[in-house]
Structure 1
Amino acid sequence: MATRLLLISDTHVPARARRLPDQVRRAIDDADLVVHAGDWVDVVTLDAIEAGAARLVGVAGNNDGPELHARLGEVARFDLEGLRFGVVHETGAATGRETRMDAAHPDLDVLVFGHSHIPWDTVTPRGIRLLNPGSPTDRRRQPVCTMMTAVVDDGALREVELVPVVRGER
């Protein structure tokens, strides 16, 4: 049976947006698993996503306070249909990222990360899929805010899609 994923990071509520965009809320409702790669900023956002998600895996980021760090930690790992996933907030500079992540996470198939607000989708030399969904609330130097969707089916990651978050729905 296929599992629908929503990948988000750097929601920064209420620092960068008053609330999650309606499009993100609908995507949470539609997903079988929500993965959040840190920088929630407030506990209210964690509680809201946790209440709306069928299942949630998340980590704390550099802008998250002690309560979020205590509830989430900085690294999460889970298996889904035989794929080994990891979630972290920061991976360091883009230069050399693939090599560093191969060394840091040799047992993973997929690593979801955030921090930069810059979408990223590459495969390391050892075969780890690196995914950064960007930010649904703070585009920084990107043309639009973003999130990612994907499907895990029959032990494979499929249909990875970078989804623009419509500005009018903030």
Structure 2
Amino acid sequence: MKIVVLGDTHIPKRAKHFPKRLLAELKTANTIIHTGDFQTMDVYNELRAFAPVHGVIGNVDSEELQRVLPYSLLLPFDNITIGVTHGHGKEKTTEKRALAAFEHQKVDAVIFGHSHIPVHKKIGDITLFNAGSATDKRREKQFSFGLLYIQKNTLHFKHVFYDSKD
């Protein structure tokens, strides 16, 4: 199974469309995980044209998105459970808030956004993954999104980095 992981797309504020590099992967995705800050319902609906979308709200999402998307998600894939949240809030770091959102659940991975900083590391038995941003790299050298492959109850995360958001 191939999952495209993205977040913090901020369309139309930070970009007018999805970058070509991202579009190439969306065309072959089995599913999409978006960690929030779509910004508008149009962005959510555009992603749904490629594959099923599992998304959460971010701190700049429209009221319409806030009515249809949850704050966090637990996604079961066979014997694997993935927690998804945006990671915004007060106190602690974005990573610590993301982990805290699932502290009472058994998860194999936590996918989050908000910081626009790509992260891929293990904390205990949990993989922590932030795809970065496909359209708003802020202080990062490159734009990024993630790919997640699930095969035989094994997770394989990978960042895709590129220079142009066109």
Q: Please list the CA deviations of residues 44-93 of structure 1 after superposition, one character each: whole Å capped at 9, or x if unmatched.
A: 1101001121x211111000021101111111111112100111001664
Unmatched 5+ residue regions in structure 1? Answer: none
CA distance in 2, matches of 1:8, 1:128: 19
Please say if 1:118 is aligned against 2:134: no
Q: Could you tell me whether the CA contact under 8 Å between 2:35 and 2:55 is conserved in 1?
A: yes
- The alignment partner of 1:104 has SS state of coil
Q: Please list the CA deviations of residues 131-169 of structure 1 after superposition, one character each: whole Å capped at 9, or x if unmatched.
A: 0000000000100010011210001102x21101340x5
Give the RMSD, CA atoms, in angstroms: 2.1
Instruction: Give the length in aligned residue pairs.
Output: 164
Please say if 1:73 is aligned against 2:70: yes
Identity %: 28
Unmatched 5+ residue regions in structure 2? Answer: none
CA distance in 2, matches of 1:108, 1:80: 11
CA distance in 1, matches of 2:35, 2:98: 20
1:141 to 134, 139, 142: 139
Please say if 1:161 is aligned against 2:158: yes
2:148 to 150, 158, 166: 150
CA distance in 2, matches of 1:113, 1:32: 20
Q: Could you tell me whether the CA contact under 8 Å between 1:98 and 1:124 is conserved in 2?
A: no
Please list, as runs of the form range in 1=range in 2, the aligned pairs for 1:6-45 lying within 5 A after superposition.
Answer: 6-45=4-43
CA distance in 1, matches of 2:161, 2:75: 27
CA distance in 2, matches of 1:99, 1:77: 13
The aligned counterpart of 1:46 is: 44
Q: Please list the CA deviations of residues 94-132 of structure 1 after superposition, one character each: whole Å capped at 9, or x if unmatched.
A: 48729953872541111110000000111122x111100
TM-score (norm 1): 0.88
Q: 1:31 to 1:99 in 2, by over 3 A?
A: closer
Runs of 4+ in structure 1 displaced over 3 angstroms?
91-96, 98-103
Q: Could you tell me whether the CA contact under 8 Å between 2:87 and 2:112 is conserved in 1?
A: yes
**Which residue identity does 1:33 align to in structure 2?**
T
- The alignment partner of 2:5 has SS state of strand
**Which residue identity does 2:82 align to in structure 1?**
F
Determine which structure has the larger helix proportion and give its number. Answer: 1
Please say if 1:63 is aligned against 2:56: no
Q: Could you tell me whether the CA contact under 8 Å between 2:4 and 2:147 is conserved in 1?
A: yes
